[in-house]
Amino acid sequence: MSPVKKPARPEGGQNRSPLEDRRIRLGLAVLLAVLLWVAVTTVVQPGTTITLHNVPVDYTYESSVYTSRGLSIVDAPERTVDLTISGDGYTIGQLGTEDFVVYPDCSSVRSSGTKTLQLRVRCINSAVAGNISVSIADANSTVDIVFDVVEEKTLPIQVNTRYLTIEDGYILYSTAASNETVTLTGPSSELAGVASCTAEVSYSDPLSDSVTVETALRFYSETGQEVEFQYVTLDHSSVDVTLTVYKTAELPINVRFVNTPPNFDDSVLIYSLSQTALRVAGPAATVDNLTELAVGTIDLSTFALDKVYEMPITLPSGIVSLDNVDTVTVSFNCTAMATKTLNIPAENVEVINLPSTYQLTVESDRLMNVTLCGPAAVLEGLTADQVVARIDADDFAVALGQQNIACSIYVPADGRVFALGNYTIQCEISSE
């Protein structure tokens, strides 16, 4: 086998690489070193110092130092400081206020009061915290903070209307606040001086209608001195007070009667009331439509001579009594009245409103033991033939066959006579 021959190097050193020249390599190394030095000094900038402006003081940082002693910050100024930051220029050039926390050193706080505390700064960016140094640049690096035990106090809100004027003929019936209580939060020393809370309502014009007024809250001490707060805060500083204003009137009282005969003359009933009129109040539109008050009804079928009735006062919706009276006593003067019992003949039964397709026949010969009440002089000469028993077909379901039907009793000749009790009569209903 023939040996491998290396190609012959051209004569005269032609086609050699420049990097094979030691002098060229040395020159390139020097150039690279210069470029690296320029990069470090212009980009990285070791030993650079900058100032970061307007970094806010965080009063909540490490707050457990004082809250563990039952204290809270009740007053602290809004404060910003400037920071001096040293390190390589590339690193610190990327930092902002969010990378640092400035806070008061509360380690010496043991009790309530105003404390002058040193401000501290800490880098909270863990990626660079070990490679930079930071300090507060301000000449004054302290802050005054007020500490106290913070408590809550809840007070009832008392509505005061002494500054209001009400139109004649109207009254301020009631007041209602949108909140019944107010909660105060603040230093215990300041809360201790507060005893009461009022909403003192005022209105520019005399009131004749209900209104709602926004009213500021005011606070007073035990001695009646108004309290102005320095640190206390409120869950609300005002309330809406609704003022209900009613029109007043004095209305006569009357009594109504039921189960009366068709021609009843109520002048026969002479009675007296324990109260003849009642002072009332209510919305103007309602009061203006009232001319009297009917306190109740008396059923004449249960009437008894010389009986005294206790009538509960029932007022129309929206109307209230101003006289604090719940009942009215009705007393009857029956000295000229009497009762009489008669048997009414069947021929004195009259039927009204019966459909023409039906016929009603009274099967009883008489309606027995009908008790009548009226003027004694009238009853003395009254006979059964003068009394009528009326059956009204509108008052019952008409059906074929026998049935007991209720009837009303009256004396056509004199409306002052009425029946006591309820009466039925045996009848037969047939078709025509």
Asked if residue 19 belongs to a domain, the reply is no
Asked if residue 327 belongs to a domain, the reply is yes
Confidence at residue 4, expressed as pLDDT on a 0 to 100 scale: 46
Domain residues for the domain of 318 are 249-332
Q: Which of 224, 246, 268 is the last residue of a domain?
A: 246
Question: Are 200 and 283 found together in one domain?
Answer: no
* Contact status, residue 432 vs residue 412, Cβ threshold 8 Å: no
* Contact status, residue 367 vs residue 425, Cβ threshold 8 Å: yes
Residues found in the chain: 432
Task: Give the C-alpha separation, 355 to 56, whole Å.
Answer: 98
Confidence at residue 37, expressed as pLDDT on a 0 to 100 scale: 53
Q: Which of 129, 148, 167 is the last residue of a domain?
A: 148
Question: Are 309 and 345 found together in one domain?
Answer: no
Question: Are 253 and 238 found together in one domain?
Answer: no
Number of folded domains that form the chain: 4
Half-sphere exposure of residue 231: CA atoms within 13 angstroms, side-chain side: 24
Question: Are 170 and 261 found together in one domain?
Answer: no
State the CATH number of the domain containing residue 171: 2.170.120.40
Question: Are 328 and 343 found together in one domain?
Answer: no
Confidence at residue 423, expressed as pLDDT on a 0 to 100 scale: 95
Tell me the chain's radius of gyration from C-alpha atoms: 52
Listed in sequence order, the residues at least 6 apart from 395 whose beta carbon sits closer than 8 Å to its beta carbon are: 406
Question: Are 320 and 368 found together in one domain?
Answer: no
* Contact status, residue 172 vs residue 208, Cβ threshold 8 Å: no
Question: Are 237 and 204 found together in one domain?
Answer: yes
DSSP 141: -
Question: Are 420 and 343 found together in one domain?
Answer: yes
Asked if residue 416 belongs to a domain, the reply is yes
Distance set, CA 212 to CA 56, 138, 209, 235 (Å): 44, 54, 10, 21
Confidence at residue 36, expressed as pLDDT on a 0 to 100 scale: 62
Buried b (16+ CB within 10 A) or exposed e, 352-388: eeeeeeeeeebeeebbeebebbbeeebbeebeeebbb
**List of E strands, 141-180:** 142-148, 150-160, 170-177
Q: pTM of the predicted model, to two decimals?
A: 0.61
Question: Are 368 and 417 found together in one domain?
Answer: yes
Q: What is the mean pLDDT of each run of 10 residues along the chain (432 residues)?
A: 49 58 70 60 67 94 88 91 89 89 93 92 90 91 91 95 95 96 92 95 94 96 94 94 97 92 92 93 94 88 91 89 91 94 95 92 92 96 95 91 93 96 93 82
Asked if residue 35 belongs to a domain, the reply is no
Q: Which of 148, 174, 197 is the last residue of a domain?
A: 148
Asked if residue 17 belongs to a domain, the reply is no
State the CATH number of the domain containing residue 370: 2.170.120.30
Asked if residue 242 belongs to a domain, the reply is yes
DSSP 203: -
Confidence at residue 89, expressed as pLDDT on a 0 to 100 scale: 79
Question: Are 157 and 191 found together in one domain?
Answer: yes
Burial class (CB in 10 A: 0-12, 13-18, 19+), 157: buried
HEC-encoded secondary structure of 215-262:
EEEEEECCCCCECCCCCCEECCCEEEEEEEEEEEEEEEEEEEEECCCC
Helix (H, G, I), strand (E, B) or coil at 427: strand
Question: Are 281 and 365 found together in one domain?
Answer: no
Asked if residue 314 belongs to a domain, the reply is yes
Asked if residue 18 belongs to a domain, the reply is no
Question: Are 190 and 141 found together in one domain?
Answer: no
